[in-house]
Amino acid sequence: MTAINLRDFGGFTTGSGSVMKTGLLYRSGNLQKLSAAHHIAIGELKLQTIIDFRSLEEQEKSPGTFPGSKKVSMPCNIDEITRRRLRPLLLRRSADDEIMDAIDSVYKEMVDLMVQPIGDMIRIIIGMGNCPILIHCRAGKDRTGFAAAVIQWAMGVDHDTVMQEYLKSNEFISPKISKAMKRLRLFTLGLFPKGNLQAAFEVKARYLNTAFFVIETKYGGLERYLAAGGVHRKDLDKLKSLLLS
């Protein structure tokens, strides 16, 4: 469902030839203000658990619950950091590179901020009766995109495939950017730089590559990153047993 950036993030083949099962793990943007069609489609997924990575402030404004599913809050507050770094750049002309540098810097910090939520998420996934699970944040592209990518990496999905899945969120973002751009150009009498909004809201390969680089260089690799969140080899074995076929 492109309208809310919802998709299954299983179904991918790993380097060992196993396949991530479908129907267990989903990702999306905010579940608030769903259409009737969205309610029906999501209901058919039989979700047992919804994991919300949004900040507590975001969750208070827009609860994002779904009937019949248990909601688990795992806040990762990158909102204020992102706003503070983007605010002086958005109206500046030819600021695309600076905007992308700013978001890159947020991703570097997000790796640290997501250590515990990632660990908690994995413990919920391998817990009895918690799947199918949906993970989400506001747009389902940064916090959620990173979390989904970590799971796929841990399962042995190759880097290019993980990246393609991460970048798929732009199919959801692009129409929203076009609508927002029309409003902003109207309100600013055409002065809002066209490229800035695209630079600020699209996901880029460099962002996920930056996050993975931090995991490799600061933590010493994925296993040590997961161990920092309390996930150890026995937990990864359980995760693979559950998610791979």
- b/e 173-205 (16+ beta carbons within 10 angstroms → b): beeebeeebeebeeeeeeebbeebbbbbbbbbe
| The pLDDT of residue 190 | 57
Give the bridge partners for 157, in sequence order: 14
Averages of pLDDT over each 10 residues, the chain, 245 residues = 86 98 96 86 95 95 87 95 92 90 98 98 97 96 98 98 97 74 58 74 96 98 98 98 98
**Is 171 in contact with 202 (CB distance < 8 Å)?**
no
pTM of this prediction?
A: 0.93
| The pLDDT of residue 116 | 98
| The pLDDT of residue 187 | 62
CATH no. for 2-243: 3.90.190.10
| The pLDDT of residue 181 | 57
Backbone φ and ψ for 241, nearest 5 degrees, come out as -60, -35
Give the contacts of 101 (CB within 8 A, at least 6 positions apart).
none
Looking only at Cα atoms, what is the longest distance across the chain?
Answer: 59
Domain ranges of the chain: 2-243
